[in-house]
């Protein structure tokens, strides 16, 4: 049976390390500003969780909540204010936004040096050029960290990323390529997904299609990273991967919940701390 | 036998169209500035060829040549001057540079709106986010154009890019993904390259390893795009692909020379013209 990758444990380790460093700071604490401009209950939950974790490790956390009447200009003005505020180290625009808002304009308005999500084109570009972005996208960063924590070799391995979002699929593909994996990206237009999955040494699935990946689709001993999360009507959480059956074939596998999820928040707070240190120096 | 993709013909068509449009311009002509700061004879040849083509279609062309004593600051000052010069539409920094120069600093100093090569991180980022960059990297743009001119379907096809440079491999992979191909990127650390090539519907090879791709490595009917170019001691030009043998297996193939090469210059001048139009509007 596969080794179950314990994202919760690694995330707690990262957060404990940051908490310990923050407790020793004599000057001001790292500060994260979160903008919530939608009425999606999941987003509200994520934002509450980020706020709670931020405070638990000694960060300042500021959440700006808007109702559906909010205008683009109001959020633009807030971002400009936060960009210029020396007491704010990281700015997170919780996605998705209300439909009437222009997400791209707002993402590109965030100062790349405070872009804690790594979504600004200049940070995306640096990542893709093999350079150091100010911050790396949180979920992909968390995935690479998990693979490294379990000493999973990446050089020369066939890695398959399923899903090509700007938030997970494309940046994790770029990071795997930077780590010398041979990287393939499959998506909704891919034909014969199973042919691709069966060849992969490492599969990162980020589609949101519950139980897309079945046991007969994966190679024995492969590494399976499940980024999907779907909530059923009865409250059960399902990933992209049919965990109970795939774990009998895979070599390593992340559970849902408790795999990638906790790493996303840990990476976010790690990014905030790193931006804080960089801004202190300048 | 494969259809031979005639890059020279398509490139000439693109250049003729631009020339015709430029001849009708009443106001100032599109202007390209090229910076040459190395003593590599191939670079000098490329730059001369770009200059000649630019002028032949009615552009203004300015070439700034430096010897090996040039300092970083001198080129920085030139780039700043060109960025601010309303008579210059595109700035091209011919790579590689003399070893003592900092290529990254200079690339990032170019105004992204005049970055005719599409190498600035913000243009790379936009391309990777599925947005419109100010300009798209020339060789990858030329490759996509060739595929489209020959009505080669990309959606759902397995495309293999060999080589992961910032100039060809990575941007062409991003463009193929934007065109809905299932994209894999192989490179020097890839194991069993033949397993990857045999599965590909489309191969873009950009390694500079002469005749890396042999006839027994490609699937019958596949599309083979050869970006490699190596000059033998006797002056013969060799591509990445063993053209004479692979053409009997492939469905479409580019020759070397006369395939991708002419498209790179055509895309460069097309980019200059597009930047010119954008700058006219603003």
d(CA A252, CA B236): 50
Please give chain B's pLDDT, 282 residues, in tens. 999 999 999 999 999 999 999 999 988 999 999 999 999 988 999 999 999 999 999 999 999 999 999 999 999 999 999 999 999 999 999 999 999 999 999 999 999 999 999 999 999 999 999 999 999 999 999 999 999 999 999 999 999 999 999 999 999 999 999 999 999 999 999 999 999 999 999 999 999 999 999 999 999 999 999 999 998 999 899 999 999 999 999 999 999 999 999 999 999 999 999 999 999 987
CA B80 to chain centre: 24
pLDDT at A135: 98
Residue with tokens 């509450």: A48
* Residue B86 to residue B109: CA distance in whole angstroms: 17
Provide the b/e sequence for A87-100 (b: ≥16 CB within 10 Å): ebbbbbbbbebbee
Q: What angle do CA B222, B225, B227 make, to 5 degrees?
A: 155
DSSP state of B259: S
Which CATH code for domain B28-113?
3.40.50.10860
What per-residue confidence (pLDDT) applies to A177?
A: 98
- CA-nearest of B275, B281, B263 to B140 is B263
Hey, is A35 helix, strand or coil? Answer: strand
Question: Is A21 one of the annotated active-site residues of the chain?
Answer: no
Nearest-by-CA chain B residue for A129: B166
Binned at pLDDT 50, 70 and 90, residue A27 comes out as confident
pLDDT of residue B252: 98
DSSP string covering B147-216, please?
A: HHHTT---TT-EEEEE---TTTHHHHHHHHHHTT-EEEEE-TT-S-HHHHHHH-SEEEE-S--TT-B-GG
Please report residues of A whose CB lies closer than 8 A to that of B120. Answer: 125
What residues contact residue B46 under an 8 Å CB cut-off, 6+ apart? B94
Whole-angstrom Cα distance, residue A9 to residue A137? 20
| Active-site residue identified among B94, B141, B170, B201 | B94
Which pLDDT value is given to residue A282? 77
Q: Give the residue from B175, B182, B194, B197 with the most A CB atoms within 10 Å of its CB, the best one to mutate.
A: B182
For residue B191, what is the nearest residue in chain A, using CA coordinates?
A: A156
Q: What is the DSSP letter of B250?
A: -
Cα end-to-end span (Å), chain A: 50
DSSP one-letter string for B61-126: EEEEE--TT--HHHHHHHHHHHHH-TT--EEEEESSPPTTS-HHHHHHHS-GGGBTT--SHHHHHH
Q: Which residue has the tokens 């191909």?
A: B181
Residues spanned by CATH 3.40.50.10860 within chain A?
28-111
How many CB pairs below 8 A link A and B? 90
Q: What is the maximal distance between C-alpha atoms in chain B?
A: 57
Q: Is A100 in contact with A37 (CB distance < 8 Å)?
A: no
One of 3.40.50.10860, 3.30.465.10, 3.30.390.30, 2.60.120.10 is the CATH number of A28-111, namely 3.40.50.10860
Would you state the pLDDT for residue A42?
87
Contacts (Cβ under 8 Å, ≥6 apart) of B159: B173, B176, B181, B182, B183, B184, B200, B201, B202, B203, B204
When pLDDT is averaged across residues A89-98 and rounded to a whole number, the result is 97
Catalytic one of B113, B114, B115, B117: B117
State percent of chain A over pLDDT 70. Answer: 100
CB A256 within 8 A of CB A244: no
CA–CA distance, A30 with B119 (Å, rounded to integer): 34
C-beta atoms of A187 and B184 within 8 A: no
Q: Sort out which chain B residues have CB atoms less than 8 A from A104's CB and list them.
A: 131
For an interface test with B, the pick among A127, A168, A185 (most B C-beta atoms closer than 10 Å) comes out as A185
For residue A89, pLDDT over 90 is answered with yes
**Residues in A touching B195 (Cβ below 8 Å):** 199
A185 and A227 Cβ atoms separated by less than 8 Å: no
Average pLDDT over residues A200-221: 98
User: pLDDT (tens digit, 9 = 90+) per residue, A47-76?
Assistant: 999 999 999 999 999 999 999 999 999 999
Q: Which residues contact B43 (CB under 8 A, 6 or more apart)?
A: B36, B94, B96
Q: Do residue B156 and residue A191 have CB atoms under 8 angstroms apart?
A: yes
Smallest Cβ–Cβ distance between B183 and the set A122, A184, A191 belongs to: A184
Q: What percent of chain A has pLDDT over 90?
A: 96
Q: How far apart are CA B164 and CA A152, in angstroms?
A: 22
Q: Identify the sign of the CA torsion A112, B32, B21, B24.
A: positive
Residue A134 and residue A275 in contact, taking contact as beta carbons nearer than 8 Å: yes
CATH class (in words) of the domain with range B138-261: alpha beta
CATH 3.40.50.10860 residue ranges of chain B are 28-113
ipTM topping 0.95: yes
pLDDT: which is higher, A89 or A232:
A89
**Mutate which of A129, A168, A190 to disrupt the B interface (most B C-beta within 10 Å)?**
A129
Q: Which of A128, A183, A190 lies at the smallest CB-CB distance from B128? A: A128
A50 is catalytic: yes
């Amino acid at each position: 049976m596969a080794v179950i990758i314990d994202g919760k444990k690694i995330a707690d380790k990262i957060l404990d390390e940051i908490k310990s460093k923050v407790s020793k700071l004599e000057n001001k604490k790292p500060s994260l500003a979160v903008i919530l401009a939608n009425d999606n209950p999941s987003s509200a939950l994520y934002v509450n969780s980020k706020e709670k974790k931020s405070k638990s490790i000694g960060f300042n956390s500021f959440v700006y909540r808007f109702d559906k009447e909010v205008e683009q200009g109001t959020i633009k003005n807030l971002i400009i204010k936060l960009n210029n505020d020396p007491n704010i180290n990281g700015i997170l625009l919780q996605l998705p936004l209300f439909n009437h808002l222009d997400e791209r304009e707002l993402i590109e308005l965030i100062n790349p040096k405070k872009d804690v999500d790594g979504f600004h084109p200049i940070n995306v570009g640096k990542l893709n050029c093999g350079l150091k972005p100010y911050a790396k996208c949180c979920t992909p960063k968390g995935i690479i960290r998990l693979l490294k924590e379990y000493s999973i070799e990446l050089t020369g391995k066939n890695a398959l990323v399923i899903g090509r979002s700007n938030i997970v699929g494309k940046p994790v593909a770029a990071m795997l390529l930077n780590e010398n994996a041979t990287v393939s990206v499959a998506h909704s237009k891919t034909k014969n997904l199973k042919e691709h999955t069966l060849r992969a040494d490492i599969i990162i699935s980020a589609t949101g299609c519950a139980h897309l990946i079945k046991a007969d689709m994966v190679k024995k001993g492969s590494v399976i990273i499940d980024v999907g999360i779907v909530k059923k009507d009865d409250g059960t959480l399902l990933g992209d991967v049919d965990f109970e059956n795939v774990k009998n074939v895979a070599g390593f596998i992340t559970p849902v919940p408790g795999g990638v999820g906790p790493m996303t928040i840990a990476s976010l707070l790690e990014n905030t701390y790193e931006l804080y240190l960089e801004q202190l120096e300048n």
